[in-house]
Amino acid sequence: MPTDITMPKLSDTMTEGRLVSWKKSVGEQIERGEIIAEVETDKATMELEAFASGVLAEQRVKPGEMVAVGAVIGVIGGGGEAPPPAGEKPAPPPEGARQPPAEPPAPERAGEVPERVMELPGEEQPSPVSAGHSDDTKAAPAVRRLAREQGVDLARVAGSGPDGRILQEDLERYLAKRDEEGTAGGAPAAAAGEGEPLTRMRGAIAKVTGEAWRTIPHFYETVEIDMKEAVEIVRELKGSGHDATYNDLTIRAAAMALGSFPLMNASFAADRIVRHDAINIGFAVAMDDGLQVPVVKGCQGLSLAEIARQTVRLAERARSGAITQEEISGGTFSISNLGMFGIDEFAAVILPPQAAILAVGAVAERPAVRDGHLVAAKTMRVTLSCDHRVVDGAYAARFLGELRRILENPVLMLV
């Protein structure tokens, strides 16, 4: 029997994806497990494996087209088997045939990082069809959304995709032509430079941070940490083959402190708080058009040197675009460091479903009082953003106190 190739759900926030390229041509033999296509999510580009052997019988989606999760993008046929036409509906089951009961969802195992704890808003439902709009118009959800935002009746747009499907570039051409000609009412086209469409990465950031800001009751606490000993550790390790940065030290110290304050390593989920045994710390990596948050998994069992190697590897993969969904998923706590840009202190937005994020500023000389004398001291300011549904101020303050104690005594991280 033919096997449908569908757009997979590769992250808990993914509602649609873009087909980047086909790796097989129609008529080519495919073996189960072979890479047949590349798809782009809102976070990364992933390879799509075949789940059946056979011949690639159809490519229903062109490279560059946006597709809803679960939509059929191609068909694998058995030996010499012809797939049904794209528009043909499958024959209904015999009358009286009983559908098997749906399987109950698998129970969540204690200590396991939930794949989805806080639901982010899914694709908004289309508004009732107004005059001139057709429910039968073939277009991906992203194209429909853009059409709604721009006030476009998709029935007026000529589609160049399979079976007349309207692609994003079709709609963009229509909008460009409309702007050039002006609307029927004589309204002027938008002035150049007035706005630009969001990239997929910027759109994902807008969605996640916007929802976090609306739904998570943030509170903030800031401490200043004496980094004299940490500066010496970084200097001594430089060139030794075990180099470490201030960010690596902070990740290691945070992992140790989280072990003593497990609520900081938890998630809020509807009517409960989920604690995680694994300490998986994400760290923000700046990109040209946004940021990625690779995750160092199992930090509770990693040495400083192992953490340093992981951060170098993951940051390089993020900047090169080779990062995988697995490498940016499953975080239980996050760190955002802007110290390298000379930022003294700032507050970061919590990344759902995590309960906290640590914003790290620059290590710099600042005035400090030591034994009654005013001196110049190397210090670093950190600000902890917390979800008040999970932790309270005193608990967060004790966590910050432990973090400061470890960073001011970095030898604790070397044992």
Q: Give the residue numbers annotated as catalytic, written as ranges.
A: 388
- The Cα 67–Cα 73 span in angstroms is 8
- The Cα 361–Cα 336 span in angstroms is 9
Number of neighbouring beta carbons within 10 Å of residue 131: 5
Q: Which of these, 312, 313, 314, 309, lies nearest to 329 by C-alpha position?
A: 314
- The Cα 80–Cα 32 span in angstroms is 17
- The Cα 259–Cα 210 span in angstroms is 30
Strand partners for 285:
292
Q: How far is CA 64 from the centre of its chain?
A: 20
Rounded to a whole number of angstroms, the CA Rg of the chain reads: 26
- Tokens representing 285 are 């990596």
Task: Report the 3 state secondary structure along 65-134.
Answer: CEEECCCEEEEEECCCCCCCCCCCCCCCCCCCCCCCCCCCCCCCCCCCCCCCCCCCCCCCCCCCCCCCCC
What count of residues does the chain have?
Answer: 415
Show Cβ contacts of residue 20 under 8 Å, excluding neighbours closer than 6 positions. 37, 38, 39, 40, 45, 63, 64
Strand partners for 385:
220, 357
Collapsed DSSP state (helix, strand, coil) of residue 155: helix
